[in-house]
């Protein structure tokens, strides 16, 4: 599986942000911003794919 496979098959919303970050980093991505609570229990994180494109993830608790 590649980072592209992961990012094109998800909307960026995930039930487990830590697991998704582990999955994309195993596929070659680099974490840019670790999960951060932005209020209301919402976690956000960003990562860069191997081409340098920055993508985001969201988890609502």
Enclosing domain of residue 13: 3-60
Gap between the Cα atoms of 36 and 41, Å rounded: 10
Is the CB of residue 32 less than 8 Å from the CB of residue 48?
yes
Is the overall model pTM greater than 0.85, yes or no? no
Distances (CA, A) of 44 to 1, 50, 57: 23, 20, 6
Please state, rounded to an integer, the average pLDDT across all residues of the chain: 86
Residue 20's CB is within 10 A of a number of other CB atoms, namely 20
Gap between the Cα atoms of 24 and 39, Å rounded: 25
Q: How many domains does the chain have?
A: 1
Query: Looking at residue 45, what is its pLDDT?
Result: 94
CATH number of the domain that residue 24 is part of: 3.10.180.10
Q: pLDDT for 14-36, tens place per residue? A: 999 999 999 999 999 999 999 99
């Amino acid at each position: 599986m590649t980072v592209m496979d992961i990012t094109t098959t998800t909307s960026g919303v995930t039930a487990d942000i830590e697991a998704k970050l582990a999955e994309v980093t195993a596929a070659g991505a680099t974490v840019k911003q670790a999960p951060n609570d932005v209020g209301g229990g919402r976690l956000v994180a960003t990562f860069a794919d191997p081409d340098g494109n920055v993508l985001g993830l969201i988890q609502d608790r």
